[in-house]
Amino acid sequence: MHKRQLGQSGMEVSAIGMGCMGFSHGYGAVPPEEESIRLMRRAFELGCTFFDTAEVYGPYVNEELTGKAVAPFRKEIVLATKFSPFALPGQPEDKLSRSGVRRALEDSLRRLGTEYVDLYYQHRVPEDCPVEEVARWMGELIREGAIRGWGLSQPTEAQVRRAHAVTPLTAIQSEYSMMERMFEKDVIPACEELGIGFVPFSPLAGGFLSGKYGTDARYEGDDVRRVITRFARENVKANQPLLDLLRAYARAKEATPAQISLAWMLRKKDFIVPIPGMRREERLLENLGAADVRMTDEEFDALERALDAIPIHGNRTDEDIARLGTVRAQ
């Protein structure tokens, strides 16, 4: 597995990480605990050294599961988790405070079974969030050794700059894929300028870019695709040109559409590290194998031009996900 650094932080990770949320909720029926643990450990065997979870996943249970899975190789990986700025069950209402954040971290450390977190994110940044204050609190935690670095999820460029000026950010984790490119305008260029890593969640657009979900697909129960508009039947049909493009590139490169999607992302910038979810062994091999797919300059430029010409129908919003009633913002 190829390695990358998260910006100028010096934090080295595998070029592709693992998003662990799906082992607990968000995409329908989950694997048995033993299988989830086996798959996370198999990912490590295949070279993955970057594992991502959050207190809101479950809530709480995904941190416990991930901590149990990575325990045998804890010190050999970068373990990331996130605190929600909003109170979760059993938490104080003043969550976004120095004491609230410290308590959230202490609880996460206990659930993860570790003495420190490598990368600690604020999981969403409200417009009125005092990011400078949060940055100060994170600086304290870094100096105390409770965390090695910190980040923000879905911030604006202005919030990135304000926070980074107080305590340098290690990484930004936001949605990014061929179907959601809004952060190319400002946040990703700011990360490049400031030396901050960029960690895309949902890099395969909830699995859409794998090409495995057609207009007849059905989503039930705790599956966010029930409410994400890009999975509406009419949008699946309207987005077919994107899948056709991916399949053409996949045939030419002897790869899969998912691998082309991830390889494109890796080719964009060397500080971008996607964290797809992988709940079956064949997906592990496929997604982690994308790090070996190479594009020439001509192939990449042609793909960029083709993508720019394809309109995208539907999106993924926290507001839509909230309508599901079982999953908070991811």
Share of the chain above pLDDT 90, in %: 83
The answer to whether 121 is a known catalytic residue is: no
Higher pLDDT, residue 217 or 58? 58
323: Cβ–Cβ under 8 A, 6 or more apart, which residues?
227
Spot the catalytic one: 27, 57, 176, 249.
57
Residue 305 covered by a domain: no
Average pLDDT, the chain: 94
Which amino acid appears at position 234 of this protein?
E
Q: Which domain holds residue 40?
A: 3-206+269-293
CATH code, domain carrying 182: 3.20.20.100
Tens-digit pLDDT profile for residues 243-302: 999 999 999 999 999 999 999 999 999 999 999 999 999 999 999 999 999 999 999 999
Q: Which of 141-145, 230-234, 314-318 has the lowest mean pLDDT?
A: 314-318
Tens-digit pLDDT profile for residues 23-78: 998 788 899 999 999 999 999 999 999 999 999 999 999 999 999 999 999 999 99
Consecutive H or E run containing 307:
helix 297-308
Tens-digit pLDDT profile for residues 124-162: 999 999 999 999 999 999 999 999 999 999 999 999 999
Nearest to 60 by CA among 99, 108, 18: 108
Q: Count structural domains, the chain.
A: 1
Contact 134, 160 (CB under 8 A): no
Residue 138 covered by a domain: yes
Residue 304 covered by a domain: no
Residue 87 covered by a domain: yes
Nearest to 272 by CA among 189, 152, 185, 156: 189
User: What per-residue string of b and e applies to 74-110 under the rule 16 or more CB within 10 Å gives b?
Assistant: beebbbbbbbbbeebeebeeebbeeebbbbbbebbbe
Nearest to 212 by CA among 250, 181, 178, 258: 258
Residue 211 covered by a domain: no
